Structure 1
Amino acid sequence: MSNAPRLTALDALHRSLGATMTDFAGWDMPLRYASERDEHNAVRTKAGLFDLSHMGEITVTGPRAADLLDYALVGNIGSVGVGRARYTMICRQDGGIVDDLIVYRLGESEYMVVANAGNAQIVLDALTERSQGFDAEVRDDRDAYALIAVQGPESPGILKSLTDADLDGLKYYAGLPGTVAGVPALIARTGYTGEDGFELFVEPQHAEKLWQALTEAGAPVGLIPCGLSCRDTLRLEAGMPLYGHELTTALTPFDAGLGRVVKFEKTTNDGRFVGREALQAAAEHAETSPPRKLVGLIATGRRVPRAGMAVIAVGGADATVIGEVTSGAPSPTLGKPIAIAYVDTAHAAPGTEGVGVDIRGTHEPYEVVALPFYKRQK
C-alpha cells in the first residue's frame, strides 16, 4: 500500500498553471492558482473553473436499487425522477451522520451516489454491507469519472457555447447526459458555491480537453481556474455544511438543523431504514429541547475565527462557553471575518447581544445572524 497522494487526470495541467497543491483527503489538489480572493470574487461575479475529481462516485444498479438506497440512506430516493438529483445523508444506526451525499437518478434502475472524498471508502463499504438481501449492485466508480465544475453567473452562457444540451430546461438539482466540447458528459446543475453552475462528470481521458475548452470559452467573460481554498469560503458564505466541520458522526441531521432531509414517511421496506429509531428520538428531542443551533457569526473586528474556537457569552466579569466555531474565514463578499458555529439555543436568535469568540485568550465580539450570509439574486 503506497501512501503517495492520488492524482486527478488534470494534475499536470494544474502544475503548468502554477497551482499551489495540497494534500486533501489523500488526493493532491489545487489549493489556489494565484489569489484566493480573486478566485472567490470571479465565482461570485463572473465564473470559476474547478477540478473536483477527488469526489467519490458510487454507482448503484439493479431491480431493487431504489429500495436499497431507501433503506441505506435517510432520504426518499425512490421518489427521485429520472434525470433529477437529491441532497441526502447516510447515517449510522445511532443516527450519527456518516456523510452527506448527492444522489443522481441516471435511469430507471441506475443511480450515482456522490460522496465526499474523505468518506468515499466508508460510504462504499456501508452501501455494500447494507445491500445484503437486495437485488442490486454497488460499484466503486471513483476511477471512472473526472469531475469538472463551472460555477458563477456567467456559467450558463459559457456552457451553452459548447453544448446543444437543453440547459434552459435543466433545473437546479437535475442532470442530463450530453456532449460538451465533443466530450460525452453527465451535465448536472449542482454546486457548492451558492451560485448557479454546473458539474460535469466525464471520463478521465477527456478531462484535459474539456478543461481547455471551458477555459477558452470562458476567457472573454472572466472565467478563471479556482482552487479548494475559495471553494471553502464560497460554501461558507452560502451557509453550506462541510463534513468534518458542521457534520460529524457525533451529530444527527436534526442536531445540524437539516432534519428536513430525513423522510420518515417512506413506505419502501415497510418504512425501515438504517438509523430510523434513533432519528425519530432525535427529531422529538430537537422539537422539545434542541441543545444547540447552527448560526452565523459576523466579526465586528478583523480577527479571524477558526474551527474549534469557543463561542462565549460575555456578561459581567465572567465569560461562559455557549458554543463552538465549526468553520471560519475572512469573507471576501462581506469584507469581514465570518464563522458558522453551534451555540446554545438561548443565544442563537439573530441579533443576540453579548456573544463573542475566544481567539487565543481575547474575547472578540461577534454578531449572531441567520444563515446563509450570502444569497444570490435569482
Structure 2
Amino acid sequence: MEKVTLKRTPLFELIQPKAKMVDFAGFEMPILFSSIKEEHRSVREDVGMFDVSHMGEIRIEGPDALEQVQHLVTNDVSKLQIGQAQYNLFCLPDGGVVDDLLVYRLDEDSFWLVINASNIEKDEAHVRRFVTGDVTVTNESDQYGQIAIQGPNAEKVLSKLTDLPLEEIKFFRFMTGEVAGVTTIVSRSGYTGEDGFELYAHADAIHRIWEALESEGVTPCGLGSRDTLRFEACLPLYGHELDETVTPFEANLNFAVKLDTDFVGKEALVKQKENIPNRMIGLKLLGRGIARQGATVEVDGEVVGVVTTGTMPPTVNESIAWARVDARHVERDQFTIDVRGKKIEAVRVPTPFYKRKK
C-alpha cells in the first residue's frame, strides 16, 4: 500500500510536539492540544488561536480583475471598498457549490481569494476555466500562513503585538501592518462566532506571530474545537453543509447571492429561487444519542432530509443537529432522526444555536 505523504504548514514544527495531529485535507493538522472542550471554552470566554495555514490563497489582478472576479462569485464584489472582505461562493453552471470563500479587495485592480484547503486544486482549475480578459491568476497558497485569533479578548491581546488601530477595523475589514515585527494582513473575521482576527503573513515569518501570541498566554486550539465552535454559530463547512450537489439557496446562503450580477451558475439559481427544494433547519434531540452527518431525518417513517452536522457542543451542551430537509417540511416542529438504527424524536429549534452578546 502506497504511503501518503501529508503536507505540513509553516507552523508544523512549533505545533507538532504539543498537539495530537491528524490528516485533514491532505495536511498534517492539530485536532487538539489539551481537549476540545477546554479549547472551545477558551474561545468563547477568553481567547484562542488556530493554525489555519492550510487554507489557500489565489490572487487575481489586472485591469479586468473586478469584472472577472464578479463573474466567478455569487456576491456583488463591486460593492467592496479597498480594505474590505466579503463572504462568497463559487458555483457550477448548474448552481452547485464548488466552494465557499472570502474575497479581499487589496486595491482597485487586485483581489485575494481565500479558499478551503480541501479544494485548492479544484478551485484554481475552476478559476482558470472561467477567467478571461486582462488578468493574472496566481496561486499563492504556499507563500502565506494564517493564524486565527478568536474570542472576546482577541483585540486586547493582539493590541500588545501591533501598533495598528485594531478598534478601527470593523467586521470584514482589514489593514496591513506589523504584528510581532512581521508584515501582516489583519482581518477582522473568523469562523467561530466570536470576535477576532485572521492574520496572514509570509510562510517563513509567521512562526514569530504564533510564538508571540503563545507568550501572551493565548490558548492554542485545534480543528476539533474549530468545528464545534463554527457548528454552534451555524457557519457552513464544505463537505457537510455545502458540496457540488447543493446550491446556495439550499444551504440558506441567500444573502451571498446577488441575482442582479452576472456570475457562473446565475441562470440555474434564477430558476431555482422560485421553488427551492431543500432548506437547512436546526434540530434538538429529545432522546439520548448524537446525530452525526448522514443520519436521516424522517416524518411518519418517510425520509425527508439528512443531518449535515451534529454533536453535543460545549456551550449549547445539548444534542443538536443541523439538517437539510425537504422544503415542504421546514415549518414542522416534530421530526424523527435515525441514529444508527435507533429512532430518536427531535424538535425544530432556531438557528444559529449560539450567538455572542455584542
TM value normalised by structure 2: 0.97
* 8 Å CA contact retained: 2:56, 2:120: yes
Q: How does 1:98-117 map to 2 (within 5 A)?
A: 98-117=98-117
User: Secondary structure of the residue that 2:152 maps to in structure 1?
Assistant: coil
Residues matched between the structures, number: 357
Instruction: Return the offset for 1:2.
Output: 8.5
> Which residue in the other structure is 2:149 paired with?
150
Query: Which residue type is aligned with residue 36 of structure 1?
Result: I
Structure 1 residue aligned with 2:292, among 296, 306, 312? Answer: 306
> Which residue in the other structure is 2:354 paired with?
374
User: Secondary structure of the residue that 1:284 maps to in structure 2?
Assistant: coil
> Which residue in the other structure is 1:262 paired with?
257
> Which residue in the other structure is 2:139 paired with?
140
> Which residue in the other structure is 1:233 paired with?
228
> Which residue in the other structure is 1:10 paired with?
11
- Say if 2:253 is the partner of 1:280: no
In structure 1, C-alpha distance between the alignment counterparts of 2:63 and 2:183, rounded to whole Å: 26
Instruction: Return the offset for 1:292.
Output: 2.2
In structure 1, C-alpha distance between the alignment counterparts of 2:200 and 2:83, rounded to whole Å: 14
In structure 1, C-alpha distance between the alignment counterparts of 2:307 and 2:99, rounded to whole Å: 20
Q: How does 1:33-72 map to 2 (within 5 A)?
A: 33-72=33-72
Instruction: Return the offset for 1:346.
Output: 4.0
Cα shift readout 1:298-331 (whole Å, capped 9, x = no counterpart): 2223311100011122x5xxx2212110111111
Instruction: Return the offset for 1:16.
Output: 2.2
In structure 2, C-alpha distance between the alignment counterparts of 1:205 and 1:245, rounded to whole Å: 33
In structure 2, C-alpha distance between the alignment counterparts of 1:79 and 1:137, rounded to whole Å: 22
Query: Which residue type is aligned with residue 328 of structure 1?
Result: G
User: Secondary structure of the residue that 2:166 maps to in structure 1?
Assistant: coil
> Which residue in the other structure is 2:196 paired with?
197
In structure 2, C-alpha distance between the alignment counterparts of 1:273 and 1:144, rounded to whole Å: 29
In structure 2, C-alpha distance between the alignment counterparts of 1:320 and 1:301, rounded to whole Å: 20
Structure 1 residue aligned with 2:322, among 319, 340, 352? Answer: 340
Moved over 4 A (4+): none
Cα shift readout 1:117-155 (whole Å, capped 9, x = no counterpart): 1111111111112122x1111100001100001000010
- Say if 2:351 is the partner of 1:365: no
Which structure 2 residue ranges, 5 or more long, are not aligned?
none
In structure 2, C-alpha distance between the alignment counterparts of 1:345 and 1:106, rounded to whole Å: 39
Which structure 1 residue ranges, 5 or more long, are not aligned?
267-271
> Which residue in the other structure is 1:269 paired with?
none
In structure 2, C-alpha distance between the alignment counterparts of 1:370 and 1:248, rounded to whole Å: 24
User: Secondary structure of the residue that 1:371 maps to in structure 2?
Assistant: coil
Structure 2 residue aligned with 1:246, among 241, 246, 267? Answer: 241
> Which residue in the other structure is 1:295 paired with?
281
> Which residue in the other structure is 1:356 paired with?
336
In structure 2, C-alpha distance between the alignment counterparts of 1:292 and 1:143, rounded to whole Å: 37
RMSD: 1.4
Instruction: Return the offset for 1:370.
Output: 2.1
> Which residue in the other structure is 2:304 paired with?
322
Cα shift readout 1:277-315 (whole Å, capped 9, x = no counterpart): 1111011223xxxx22201112223311100011122x5
* 8 Å CA contact retained: 1:46, 1:152: yes
* 8 Å CA contact retained: 1:259, 1:283: no
Query: Which residue type is aligned with residue 214 of structure 2?
Result: T
In structure 1, C-alpha distance between the alignment counterparts of 2:130 and 2:31, rounded to whole Å: 35
In structure 1, C-alpha distance between the alignment counterparts of 2:259 and 2:352, rounded to whole Å: 27
Instruction: Return the offset for 1:258.
Output: 1.1
Cα shift readout 1:308-366 (whole Å, capped 9, x = no counterpart): 011122x5xxx22121101111111111121110123343237x03x121111111122
* 8 Å CA contact retained: 1:302, 1:336: no
TM value normalised by structure 1: 0.92
In structure 1, C-alpha distance between the alignment counterparts of 2:3 and 2:183, rounded to whole Å: 32
Query: Which residue type is aligned with residue 360 of structure 1?
Result: R
In structure 1, C-alpha distance between the alignment counterparts of 2:302 and 2:131, rounded to whole Å: 47
User: Secondary structure of the residue that 1:214 maps to in structure 2?
Assistant: helix
- Say if 2:313 is the partner of 1:331: yes
